[in-house]
Amino acid sequence: MNRIIPIIRKEFIHIRRDFRTLLIIFFMPVFMLLMYGYAINLEIQNIDLAVLDHSGSPTSRELVAAFQGSKFFTPRYFSGSESAIESLFQKGEAKAALIIPADFARTINGPVPTAVQVLIDAGDSNTAQLMQNYINAVVQLYNAGRGVTAPFEVNTSIRYNPTLKSAYFFVPGLVALILMMISALLTSLTIAREKETGTMEQILVSPVRPFEIIIGKVVPYLFLAFADGILILLIAHFWFNVPITGNLALILFACFLYVGVALSFGLLISTGARTQQVAMMSALMGTLLPTVMLSGFIFPIASMPKVLQFVTYLVPARYFLPVIRGVMLKGNTLFHLWLPLGALVLMGTFFLTISAKRFKMRLEV
């Protein structure tokens, strides 16, 4: 124990001396949160809709007005043939096209359902899918206006996030991403740096034990990253107005645990890497993409291929996300969340033990 404290102190001195890194550590999450918070928005509005109105009648203009009336579409009339649409898509002047047949005004009141044709630039499949939904909604609304009604009424209630705000979903997710990256990147470089600059030998000849070095290296960054976590939560709550419905202490406890896991993961990378460059690239590849892609941060796990669904069990953020989202938005308690929290404890212990083992092996070599 006595030997751990000097190591902690030494790490703190390193951190304090490196003012630039310190600045980045605190400035970066704020910057990221603001950028992400505003940049990630999966709703689309004002889709450019090219209208080829072969009918040119008051009835067809009514339909176009229904599109105009929704906030999703900005219709613009184009004359010409359907082949002109391809170049409209290529030039990016339209994302979708509505083609109204010449006999529209006559057939719409006839005995068989009339069809209008919609072309969608599906290069971006997500947007295309949303556009399809919006078009259906507009058509349904138009039909309802003409007196076509369903024989029953649908009542929709949306819980936890009634206005379907993206920020409510992404901002707690960002806490997971930022904490993981900051923590893993910070520790991944510490041991690699000692090796690269040659100070490792000095540590090796001192009487400290591997586990003491490992703990001594983790503790300072634990505080740093935890402070970062609190900063992010403050911004999430006060700037993005994400409510905290559950227990604040539980959130903080979960953050602390998660930061610990992330730091141990960074350390694990560090013990294996010979240079800082390798450590950095491994940490970047090992944290950024899995956390963004394989944790449910943006893409729902249930929609992934089966094999990758199993891989998600190895990603720490997978366990942290339901905790932070659950406590902040659903008011979940420890009773609901002991399983993911337990998984985090296991992961952290595992990473730390392996790091200490691998570190010892290097010592003997």
Should residue 142 be labelled a site residue for other proteins when binding is judged by CB under 8 A?
yes
For other proteins, the closer CB: 58 or 151: 151
Q: Report the C-alpha gap between 108 and 138 in whole angstroms.
A: 16
Please list the alpha-helical segments (H only) found in 239-315.
248-272, 276-293, 306-311
Tell me the angle at which helices 166-197 and 248-272 cross, rounded to the nearest 10 degrees. 30
CB of 255 to other proteins, least distance (A): 19
Find the binding residues for other proteins in span 121-140 (CB under 8 A): 121-130, 132-133, 135-137, 139-140
The set of residues, in sequence order, having a beta carbon less than 8 Å from that of 129 and lying 6+ positions away, is none
Tokens, residue 162:
């009634």
Rounded CA separation 78/143 (Å): 24
Residue with smaller CB distance to other proteins, 7 or 98? 98
CB of 314 to other proteins, least distance (A): 12
Amino acid at 272: G
Residue linked to tokens 């105009």: 68
Q: Does 314 bind other proteins (CB under 8 A)?
A: no
48 strand-pairing partners: 74
Decide whether 189 or 317 has the Cβ nearer to other proteins: 189
From 8, 208, 284, 354, residue interacting with other proteins (rule: CB under 8 A): 284
Query: Should residue 196 be labelled a site residue for other proteins when binding is judged by CB under 8 A?
Result: yes
Does the footprint of other proteins cover residue 199 (CB under 8 A)? no
Among 119, 262, 267, 324, contact with other proteins (rule: CB under 8 A): 119
| Cβ-proximal residues to 123 (8 Å cutoff; 6+ apart), any chain | none
Q: Out of 13, 35, 102, 345, which residue is the one contacting other proteins (CB under 8 A)?
A: 35
Please name the amino acid found at residue 104. Answer: F
Binding status of residue 101 toward other proteins by CB under 8 A? no
* Least distance between other proteins and beta carbon 340 (Å): 10
Which residue among 158, 205, 249, 365 contacts other proteins (CB under 8 A)?
158
Cβ neighbours, 10 Å, residue 251: 21
User: By CB under 8 A, is residue 112 in contact with other proteins?
Assistant: yes
Residue 46, Ramachandran bin (φ over 0: left; ψ between -120 and 50: alpha; else beta)? left
Residue 7 as a binder of other proteins (CB under 8 A): the answer is no
Q: Which of 5, 24, 234, 346 binds other proteins (CB under 8 A)?
A: 24
Distance of CA 317 to the CA centre of its chain: 10
- Of the candidate spans 217-225, 284-292, 348-356, 357-365, the one that interacts with other proteins by CB under 8 A turns out to be 284-292
